[in-house]
Amino acid sequence: MSCHSRKFVSTTLVFSMTFLFLTPQVVAANDHLVKAAELHQALLAASQARMANLAKIQRVFATETARKALRTAGMDPVKIEKAVPLLDNEELGRLAARAEKIQNDVAAGALSNQEITYIIIALATAVLILVIVAA
Protein backbone atom coordinates (compact mmCIF):
# COMPACT_ATOMS: atom_id res chain seq x y z
CA MET A 1 0.00 0.00 0.00
CA SER A 2 1.38 3.38 -0.89
CA CYS A 3 1.80 6.21 1.56
CA HIS A 4 -1.08 8.16 0.03
CA SER A 5 -3.39 5.17 0.21
CA ARG A 6 -2.59 4.64 3.88
CA LYS A 7 -3.27 8.30 4.67
CA PHE A 8 -6.55 8.14 2.80
CA VAL A 9 -7.62 4.95 4.56
CA SER A 10 -6.57 6.19 7.98
CA THR A 11 -8.27 9.57 7.47
CA THR A 12 -11.44 7.89 6.25
CA LEU A 13 -11.33 5.51 9.20
CA VAL A 14 -10.90 8.38 11.67
CA PHE A 15 -13.83 10.31 10.20
CA SER A 16 -16.00 7.20 10.11
CA MET A 17 -15.25 6.31 13.72
CA THR A 18 -15.84 9.91 14.82
CA PHE A 19 -19.15 9.95 13.00
CA LEU A 20 -20.21 6.64 14.55
CA PHE A 21 -19.37 7.74 18.09
CA LEU A 22 -20.78 11.27 17.86
CA THR A 23 -24.04 10.50 16.08
CA PRO A 24 -25.74 8.87 19.12
CA GLN A 25 -24.72 11.84 21.29
CA VAL A 26 -26.17 14.35 18.83
CA VAL A 27 -29.40 12.38 18.56
CA ALA A 28 -29.62 12.10 22.35
CA ALA A 29 -28.97 15.83 22.73
CA ASN A 30 -31.79 16.65 20.32
CA ASP A 31 -34.22 14.70 22.51
CA HIS A 32 -33.60 17.17 25.34
CA LEU A 33 -34.11 20.32 23.34
CA VAL A 34 -37.41 22.16 23.60
CA LYS A 35 -39.08 22.61 20.27
CA ALA A 36 -39.53 26.22 19.21
CA ALA A 37 -43.28 25.77 18.83
CA GLU A 38 -43.59 24.39 22.38
CA LEU A 39 -41.54 27.25 23.76
CA HIS A 40 -43.64 29.77 21.84
CA GLN A 41 -46.86 28.21 23.18
CA ALA A 42 -45.55 28.31 26.76
CA LEU A 43 -44.53 31.96 26.43
CA LEU A 44 -47.86 32.85 24.85
CA ALA A 45 -49.80 31.11 27.64
CA ALA A 46 -47.74 32.86 30.33
CA SER A 47 -48.26 36.21 28.65
CA GLN A 48 -52.01 35.67 28.36
CA ALA A 49 -52.24 34.60 32.01
CA ARG A 50 -50.32 37.70 33.07
CA MET A 51 -52.60 39.98 31.04
CA ALA A 52 -55.71 38.33 32.50
CA ASN A 53 -54.36 38.71 36.05
CA LEU A 54 -53.51 42.37 35.44
CA ALA A 55 -57.02 42.99 34.15
CA LYS A 56 -58.62 41.37 37.23
CA ILE A 57 -56.63 43.54 39.62
CA GLN A 58 -57.09 46.71 37.59
CA ARG A 59 -60.88 46.16 37.47
CA VAL A 60 -61.00 46.17 41.27
CA PHE A 61 -58.88 49.31 41.61
CA ALA A 62 -60.83 51.08 38.84
CA THR A 63 -64.10 51.03 40.78
CA GLU A 64 -65.21 54.21 42.51
CA THR A 65 -65.49 52.29 45.78
CA ALA A 66 -61.84 51.29 45.55
CA ARG A 67 -60.68 54.78 44.61
CA LYS A 68 -62.61 56.26 47.53
CA ALA A 69 -61.22 53.65 49.94
CA LEU A 70 -57.67 54.31 48.79
CA ARG A 71 -58.05 58.08 49.13
CA THR A 72 -59.52 57.60 52.62
CA ALA A 73 -56.42 55.60 53.58
CA GLY A 74 -54.15 58.32 52.16
CA MET A 75 -53.08 56.26 49.15
CA ASP A 76 -52.92 57.52 45.59
CA PRO A 77 -55.02 55.26 43.31
CA VAL A 78 -52.90 56.21 40.29
CA LYS A 79 -49.69 55.12 42.02
CA ILE A 80 -51.29 51.81 42.98
CA GLU A 81 -52.43 51.21 39.39
CA LYS A 82 -48.92 52.00 38.11
CA ALA A 83 -47.35 49.64 40.67
CA VAL A 84 -49.45 46.59 39.75
CA PRO A 85 -47.62 45.79 36.47
CA LEU A 86 -44.31 45.79 38.37
CA LEU A 87 -45.28 42.63 40.26
CA ASP A 88 -43.88 39.30 39.16
CA ASN A 89 -46.18 36.64 37.70
CA GLU A 90 -46.55 34.65 40.93
CA GLU A 91 -47.48 37.68 43.04
CA LEU A 92 -49.76 38.92 40.30
CA GLY A 93 -51.55 35.57 40.22
CA ARG A 94 -52.10 35.55 43.99
CA LEU A 95 -53.43 39.10 44.04
CA ALA A 96 -55.62 38.43 41.00
CA ALA A 97 -57.23 35.50 42.82
CA ARG A 98 -57.95 37.78 45.79
CA ALA A 99 -59.28 40.50 43.50
CA GLU A 100 -61.59 38.04 41.76
CA LYS A 101 -62.89 36.81 45.13
CA ILE A 102 -63.54 40.40 46.18
CA GLN A 103 -65.50 41.09 43.00
CA ASN A 104 -67.55 37.92 43.43
CA ASP A 105 -68.30 38.74 47.08
CA VAL A 106 -69.29 42.31 46.19
CA ALA A 107 -71.53 41.07 43.36
CA ALA A 108 -73.18 38.59 45.73
CA GLY A 109 -73.68 41.30 48.37
CA ALA A 110 -71.65 39.30 50.89
CA LEU A 111 -69.56 42.26 52.06
CA SER A 112 -70.41 45.50 53.80
CA ASN A 113 -68.94 48.80 52.60
CA GLN A 114 -66.57 48.81 55.56
CA GLU A 115 -65.34 45.29 54.75
CA ILE A 116 -64.84 46.23 51.11
CA THR A 117 -62.85 49.29 52.16
CA TYR A 118 -60.58 47.27 54.44
CA ILE A 119 -60.04 44.57 51.82
CA ILE A 120 -59.17 47.10 49.11
CA ILE A 121 -56.75 48.90 51.43
CA ALA A 122 -55.13 45.57 52.32
CA LEU A 123 -54.85 44.65 48.64
CA ALA A 124 -53.28 48.01 47.78
CA THR A 125 -50.90 47.73 50.72
CA ALA A 126 -49.85 44.28 49.51
CA VAL A 127 -49.13 45.72 46.06
CA LEU A 128 -46.97 48.48 47.51
CA ILE A 129 -45.08 46.16 49.84
CA LEU A 130 -44.39 43.64 47.09
CA VAL A 131 -43.12 46.35 44.76
CA ILE A 132 -40.89 47.84 47.46
CA VAL A 133 -39.48 44.43 48.40
CA ALA A 134 -38.80 43.61 44.74
CA ALA A 135 -36.93 46.89 44.22
Q: What is the residue-level pLDDT of the chain in tens, covering all 135 positions? A: 555 566 666 666 666 666 666 655 555 555 556 788 888 898 899 999 999 999 999 998 898 888 988 898 899 999 888 889 988 999 999 999 999 998 888 888 888 888 888 888 888 888 888 888 877
Q: Which helix (H) or strand (E) holds 80?
A: helix 77-83
Give the span between the Cα atoms of 12 and 10, in whole angstroms.
Answer: 5
How crowded is the C-beta side of 67, counted as CA atoms within 13 Å? 7
pTM above 0.75, yes or no: no
* Number of C-beta neighbours around residue 89 at 10 A: 12
